[in-house]
């Protein structure tokens, strides 16, 4: 039990690394949470700092999730009592995402966890990631809304794992990952609840420049 707590704590601390906050402080001497949407994530970094810093933020945030699910969990697996590596990877991944969302290095005010969650997903089942990414990109270039793209990509994950992979590619994901895939959309919807309200009101920020089909 003590080893499990240690692994989860290590994952939470890894997820808590405030990438966008430190990047904003270094580049412009600002707290990125006081600008734009107020979110400490890659999307707001793009708005305030530009695309290059945003890519850096996205990469590091994703790396936090991948390290937690793939490295920390696997290194500590043999020293704790959970017999299923997949379950331990999911628990460490969740701890990392929670660390990103409620960072101990930023007064428990972090990002929405999408980049870190993507890193966890890559570590758990990389073959399914490109499909979810495709849903995200398609939604983004047609609507311009990052929030909606994130939500639909999250909703696509259980569809991909339960439907597309088993029937089209004869790939059967483990039960633990299937259960996790059903939890992901709820978490993403919860962290984007304010965005959903703004989408309903028509006040959500949109990246018009990235859209293929624009209204004239």
CA 197 to chain CA centroid, Å, is 20
pLDDT digits (tens, 9 = 90+) for 13-62: 999 999 999 999 999 999 999 998 888 999 999 999 999 999 999 999 99
User: Is residue 109 helix, strand or coil?
Assistant: coil
Q: Answer whether 65's CB lies under 8 Å from 15's CB.
A: yes
- Parse the chain into domains and list their residue ranges: 1-124, 125-216
Q: Quick check: 62 and 129 in contact, CB under 8 A?
A: no
Query: What pLDDT band is residue 215 in, cutting at 50, 70 and 90?
Result: low
Q: How far apart are CA 140 and CA 119, in angstroms?
A: 19
Looking at every residue in the chain, the average pLDDT score rounds to 92
The H or E element containing residue 18 is none
pLDDT tens-digit series, residues 126-172:
888 999 999 999 999 999 999 999 999 999 999 999 988 888 778 78
Task: Give this prediction's pTM.
Answer: 0.89
């Amino acid at each position: 039990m003590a080893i499990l707590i240690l692994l989860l704590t290590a994952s939470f601390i890894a997820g808590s690394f405030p990438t966008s906050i430190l990047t904003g402080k270094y580049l412009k001497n600002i707290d990125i949470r006081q600008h734009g949407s107020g979110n400490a994530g890659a999307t707001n970094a793009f708005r305030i700092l530009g695309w290059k810093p945003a890519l850096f933020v996205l990469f590091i945030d994703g790396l936090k999730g991948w390290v937690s699910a793939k490295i920390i969990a696997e290194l500590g697996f043999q020293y704790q009592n959970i017999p299923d590596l997949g379950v331990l990877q999911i628990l460490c991944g969740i701890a990392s995402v929670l660390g990103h969302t409620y960072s101990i290095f930023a007064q428990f005010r972090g990002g929405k966890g999408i980049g870190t969650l993507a890193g966890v997903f890559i570590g758990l089942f990389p073959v399914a990631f490109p499909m979810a990414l495709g849903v995200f990109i398609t939604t983004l270039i047609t609507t311009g809304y990052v929030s909606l793209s994130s939500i639909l990509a999250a909703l696509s994950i259980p569809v991909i794992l339960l439907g597309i992979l088993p029937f089209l590619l004869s790939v059967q994901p483990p039960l633990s990952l299937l259960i996790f895939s059903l939890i992901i959309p709820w978490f993403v919807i919860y962290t984007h609840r304010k965005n959903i309200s703004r989408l309903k009101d028509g006040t959500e920020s949109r990246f018009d420049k990235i859209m293929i089909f624009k209204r004239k």
